[in-house]
A and B are shown apart, each in its own frame.
Chain A
Amino acid sequence: MTTAIGKEKLLRMYRQMMSIRLFEEQVNELYTRALMPGLAHLYSGEEAIAVGICEALRGDDYITSTHRGHGHCLAKGATPNLMFAELLGKRAGYCKGKGGSMHIADPATGNLGANAIVAGSVGIATGAAFSSKHLGNERVAVCFFGEGALGQGIVYEEMNLAQLWKLPVIYVCENNLYTEYTHFSETTAGDILQRATAFGLQAERVDGQDVRAVYSVASQFIERARKGDGPAFLLCDTYRYTGHHVGDINRDYYRAKSEEQHWKNERDPIKILTDYLISENITDNAGLDRIQSDVAAEMKAAVEFAVAAPYPGAEEVDQDVYA
């Protein structure tokens, strides 16, 4: 059961999902052109989760993100210019080039930081929820993580604490089926939702490709948390279109191309929203094409900005170690 979502919100969701998709396409391009140092983990295919949830949040709510974090950061309001600059290690980037793809953080948008330790930010998100409750500012914290994080014990320590203390935190598990190069069924015993309900958390499973469904259940959980009724766990079924990272090209040994094609053709989150917007006469193809070309131009300009931006000076290497 999905709640009614206004036209403006739906079109914004479309734009945000398109932004993430085209951002990641540019990241892959930067990698293949050898303009980007290191690697990056693309969020393509999972856009509906970040957008559905962040659209249900206030601007001053908190998120924590993961190594596959570009989508979360953009959905919470990050600017592509500063994102690309960070990915290229430039001074203008969100973290002055010191963090890179896996560590984008931004207090202005409530982004406590992407985190390259799997489940590394579960404590931080729960702590932010503690502050919110203690300071009485009614902020909600959302903790994004992949299903791989379910293997880490701290997830369960934090869910226990959050429920004991009725903290306003939502744990969002993005099950994209693969823990790096291993199918989740080989690493995950029992029922995932029961791991949360065992602690008394509200828990639901949702189609992570349907942004309207994600938004609906997220809105309920967030409102509930904000009122002081405690944490929740949202399990989102999704799929990672590309490899574990941009360099993971030959994937035949762990998954079939036909599986990838199935998700891209039948379960694409942008296509699912497009079909809805057209069938409900909310917009037409021309309207959506305009959004797409706007976003494409924005991304192109952002890449140009980042490529042209200077690197940090050598004197900055030992700055910001201590506050």
Chain B
Amino acid sequence: MPEAIATRELTFAQAVREALAEEMRRDSTVCIFGEDVAEAGTPFKVLSGLVEEFGTNRVIDTPISEAGFTGVAVGAAMTGMRPIADIMFGDFLTLVMDQMVNQAAKVHYMSGGKWKVPMVMRTTLGATRRSAAQHSQSLHAWFSHVPGLKVVLPSTPYDAKGLLKTAIRDDNPVIFFEDKMMHHKLKGPVPAGEYTIPFGVADIKREGEDITLVATSSMVQVALGAAELLEEAGISAEVVDPRTTWPLDEKTLIDSVKKTSRAIVIDEGYGRYGVTSEIAAVIAQGAFYDLDKPVMRMGAMHVPIPFSPPLEDLTVPTEKSVAEAATSLCR
């Protein structure tokens, strides 16, 4: 980013809020539906202050009816609005599956391209918040599986702001997953000026030579931490963040692995039939003759997320477990 433009340190939540406020100022058809989004600013306090600026006609508290207000968002998107539906915990996505999968994702195709659904669904993912099995899942793979949807997984405040602005301006239904552990804990540089980040463009978060760590969302910081540990052991790790699982920037992933010849894919969703499976397959197909070792995958353990802290912590990849896995591949 050009040095002339002032850069601030913002939290992830502040970056999200700034993106929403800027887009709502720019376009009066942008509105927000969700539970406790107005005066409460959501339980995560991500939206604090928006209702004061934009009013309750645009920052709209809903009943606890996820399917209901998501359906309203789909219909409103078809008829001139750019709504944002706020699904507090990603686990509640189970309640909106028909609206997103059978309606939002298919309206454009089924109508022969005549209707479009420019809506965003903001929601959360991630465990280790001691929230147990129904408030800790990372279900982004489900949506990545469905043609007609786009799926965004920002991992830094900078990416969150630029990608959310792109999501709001996109003419398709976009699911935007935020790691709820990042909202207030993760800070990073965000330029004061206007910018957007295109979908389908991976970002190399750290350059390296010996192994590629493909990581998404919450796992990007884990991979960067692992890369530090690996550097101490003399292993140079490259960290690549796809940023969107669909569209997926296959070329950047493949090119990185062609360079390093080893890869681990790390994502907080379940590994089986998940995002790691897909990305590992892309790498295996695209960089087969350059691989020195099979592509490894690390994701949530295949169990419901347990409450008890020592158990919960076992279910998610850590800097240490990623570094150990990488070391074994580089041996």
Contacts and interface: CB of A to CB of B under 8 A. Distances in A.
A95 interface: yes
A252 interface: no
A323 B72 contact: no
B76 A320 contact: no
B110 A127 contact: no
A128 B75 contact: yes
A123 B112 contact: no
Nearest to A122: B71
A98 B110 contact: yes
27 contacts: A93-B112, A98-B112, A103-B111, A112-B75, A113-B107, A113-B110, A124-B78, A125-B75, A127-B72, A128-B79, A129-B75, A130-B72, A130-B81, A131-B75, A132-B79, A134-B31, A141-B75, A157-B67, A158-B68, A158-B71, A158-B72, A161-B62, A161-B68, A319-B113, A321-B147, A322-B108, A323-B113
Contacts of A124: 71, 74-75, 78, 103
A173 B69 CA distance: 21
Interface in B221-270: none
A125 B172 CA distance: 19
B172 A323 contact: yes
B116 interface: yes
A120 B103 contact: yes
Query: How many of chain B's residues touch chain A, expressed as a range?
Result: 35 or more
Contact of A127 (B75, B111, B116): B75
Interface residues of A, number: 46
B113 A96 contact: yes
Given A128-B76, A130-B75, A161-B68, A321 B108 contact: yes
A320 B75 contact: no
A117 B98 contact: yes
B273 interface: no
Interface in A190-217: none
Nearest to A106: B114
Nearest to B64: A157
B180 to A, nearest CB: 25
Given A94-B112, A112-B115, A160-B65, A154 B78 contact: no
Nearest to A141: B75
Contacts of A97: 112
* Closest 6 A/B residue pairs (Cβ): A123-B71, A127-B75, A157-B68, A96-B112, A95-B112, A124-B75
B70 A128 contact: no
A139 B62 CA distance: 23
B81 A113 contact: no
